[in-house]
Amino acid sequence: MKIFIMFFSLQLMLSGAFAQVQISGKVTDQGKMPLSGANVFFHGTYDGATADSLGRFKFKTSLKGIQKLTASFIGYKPFQRKLNLDSLNSFILNIVLEESGEQIDEVVINAGAFEASDEKKAVILRMFDVATTPSAQGDIFGALGSLPGVQKVGEDGRVFVRGGEAYETKTYMDGMQVSTPFLSKMPDMPTRGRFSPLLFSGTLFSTGAYSAEYGQALSSIVDMKTNGVEMEEKSSISIMTVGVMGSTIKCWKNASLSLSGDYVTSGLSNTINKQQVDWIKSPFGVDGTVMYRLKTGKTGLYKFFGAFNNSSSGLNYPNTQTGINHDILANSGNVFLNNTWSSMIGEKWMMKSGVVLNYDRQKFDIDQDQMVTTKRMTQCKLDFHHFLNDQTELKLGGDWVNYAYEQNIRMGGNYSLPFTNNELSGFGEIEYKLTKKLATRFGARLENSTLLKETTLVPRFSGAYKTGNHSQVSLACGQFYQNPEDDYLKFAPRLNPEKASHAVMTWQYLTEQKTFRVEAYRKKYYNLVKYTKPLTTNPLDYSNTGNGHAEGIDFFWRDKETFKLTDYWISYSWINARRNYRDFPKAAIPTYLSEHNLSLVYKRFFEPLRTFASVTYSFASSRPYHDPNLSGFMNAKTTAYNDISLSLTYLMQIFGKQSVLHLMVNNLAGFDTVYGYNFSNTPDAAGHYESTPIKSPYVRQIIFLVSIML
């Protein structure tokens, strides 16, 4: 009997299993589009089905009682609903899934900012792009020149942004200041950045209205992110027409050490490429870089970056102003040590800390005279990010910079011009996403300088609104302070900081393959340094009475899709700017400014030839200069600037090792551009002021490189 009961109950159990309930219906998104492939099932069971091409699904279940029905699909929030399966034999459901933030990229505050990153999916540039832009000649700052908002200033090589001088662009590495990012500069000759683009995995370049995290920059910031822990041990050696380079990487479980060094000498290159400069000592340099990375705990990363440089060069410089030819010998040494450590503290706090030391010494021997300038910079920085919730992020931070400048001049007597500044700054910023589509950021920055005896407080604001899946509008504005240049502070340490205000509006369309971006801005300058005559030593000749403005529109278009294996981008900038600063008698367009700037970068991989080719074309409209032979101020214009540069990269094997042949040709067409003129201080007997044109040191430059992976 009992066995019978047991058997019966088993029967009942099994028969129960056959009394099935049918579930059917449709899965769509909020726009009623069917979601083919959605997974519809009862939670914790095998029973379920996949929606077909019309979003329909249908399945039977033997489950009983109240069960939880789940529908899930990539990029959508899962849907859940309880059904009482005892109540009905069939259910028809229309399920509407809501998009999760992962599918559409969330709104990102980006007005004014160009980001090159290897980590994010959709960015405007990758570091590879930076390294392979021919007009850049392997220089990060050179590559920024192909972006809108940057002026082409061939005789300088630094970054002039939106009507600003070169010193208004500040360079950072992993958020820490780099006080001397450029190699030392000879008069009327372009310089270049110290660091190889290969050391970085990303660069944030902002042409205006940046976050309160960045201070002491009137126009622009460049924040370079160094590589993380390396995964692969490798070594390489490169031989170039301008020297040799080598690098090696060693890896451990949670750490890596990278060493690289180079010896650069342009003696051979200067013989191949006809020079328009009378070198008495060909430029040469020795560089070394050490990078150590260590993972600390689960989220921590310690980074050490050390760079050492020694370089020298010499030239015979015809000084038109005085009519005397000078022999100038330059010798410089630079040490840059950056330590940063970042780590999560708990789940909601992140800490970023850093200590940087920068020592720079430049010695110029000008005939019998000598000028030695040393700069010592120490910065300590501590930032906290607090992730309050999904919508809100809070940033707080402070930093202290000690900067000691000293210039010793031996010129008919000994003069010393030292000054020291301690700059204490703090910032706070709150980013709040009102919705997935609308984000705002409010910030403020407080700075105090012991030298200038000034405390400044400035607001920053930015906001962005997503207008479509790939498009958004952004708005940003803010005020910015920067201490006057060393060359003024050494004579007049009581000057006030210079001030700028920015307003930027951007519309951007960004997919992984195409980018279009248009940005309009308006900038105002206050408290710019003015002086009665150049190089005057009297502090009273300097004042903060200058001002200026700049407004313009920048366009950027990049397309990696339309043409096979081809990637190109076009930048165009229009600017209208005036300044009344330095010894200007009235507001005028400064000499470095061209109204129109255009860059075209074209890159293509030719598969059968295994060659990667890049071409850039750059154009800048004429620049003003002051001709004392004519009446008025800034009364003349140069001819327009044109440049075509080319680079070819060929992949091959040498002795069974992977190798790269690289050829760079700068100014292929040989345009002999005149950037401006130097005029004599005194007129000749006929009352005419003599002039010499300022030109590139070479007309055409060819560099050849062989790189072998060991």
Q: Site residues (CB under 8 A) for another protein?
A: 2-3, 6, 9-10, 36-37, 39, 41, 43-50, 52-53, 72, 74-75, 102-103, 118, 121, 126, 128, 230-232, 511-513, 605, 610, 651-653, 656, 658-659
Alpha-carbon distance 230 to 227, whole Å?
Answer: 7
In the complex, the smallest distance separating the C-beta of residue 465 from another protein, rounded to whole angstroms, is: 22
Q: Which is nearer to another protein, 52 or 454 (CB)?
A: 52
| Burial of residue 209 (number of CB atoms within 10 Å: 0-12, 13-18, 19+) | buried
Nearer to another protein, 52 or 406 (CB): 52
Q: Residue 131, SS3?
A: helix
Tokens 């662009």: give the residue.
Answer: 169
Q: Measured from the CB of residue 435, what is the shortest distance to another protein in angstroms? A: 22
Report which residue type is found at 270: N
Residue 436 or 514 having the CB closest to another protein:
514
The least CB distance from residue 444 to another protein, in Å, is 37
Residue 24: CB atoms within 10 Å:
15
* Minimum distance of another protein from residue 49's CB (angstroms): 8
Q: Compare residues 10 and 280 and give the one whose CB is closer to another protein.
A: 10
CA distances from 181 to 184, 193, 224 (A): 9, 6, 11
Nearer to another protein, 87 or 513 (CB): 513
Residue 615 CB, shortest distance to another protein, in Å, is: 17
Rounded to the nearest whole angstrom, what is the least distance from the CB of residue 659 to another protein in the complex? 7
Q: How far is the CB of 532 from another protein (least distance, A)?
A: 53
DSSP state of 136: G
| 152: DSSP letter | -
Q: Which of 381, 305, 360 is nearest to 337 (CA)?
A: 305
Given the complex with another protein, which of 128 and 252 has the nearer CB atom?
128
Name the one residue in this structure whose structure tokens are 């309160």.
Answer: 212
Render 425-445 in DSSP notation, one character per residue: EEEEEEEEESSSSEEEEEEEE
Q: How far apart are CA 603 and CA 558, in angstroms?
A: 11
Q: Could you tell me the sign of the dihedral formed by the alpha carbons of 94, 100, 104, 109, in that order?
A: positive
CA quadruple 533, 539, 540, 545: dihedral positive or negative?
positive
Q: What is the smallest separation between the CB atom of 122 and another protein, expressed in angstroms?
A: 9
Partners of 654 in beta bridges: 657
DSSP structure string for 579-610: EE-BT-SS-B--TT--SEEEEEEEEEEETTTT
Pairing of strands 200-206, 113-117: antiparallel
Tell the smallest beta-carbon distance from residue 222 to another protein (Å): 20
- Of 692, 588, 693, which Cα lies nearest the Cα of 639? 693
- Cα–Cα distance, 614 to 179 (Å, whole number): 32
Nearer to another protein by C-beta: 49 or 430?
Answer: 49
Tell me whether residue 103 or residue 271 sits nearer to another protein (CB atom).
Answer: 103
The answer to whether 415 and 408 are in contact (CB under 8 A) is yes
Query: Of the two residues 128 and 349, which places its CB atom closer to another protein in the complex?
Result: 128
Closest CA to 169 of 200, 139, 201, 144: 144
Cα–Cα distance measured from residue 34 to residue 28, given in angstroms and rounded to the nearest whole number: 4
Q: Which residue, 73 or 305, is less far from another protein as judged by CB?
A: 73
454 CB burial (10 A radius; 0-12, 13-18, 19+) = middle
Least distance between another protein and beta carbon 588 (Å): 44
Nearer to another protein, 62 or 622 (CB): 62
**Please, what is the minimum distance in Å from the beta carbon of residue 512 to another protein?**
6
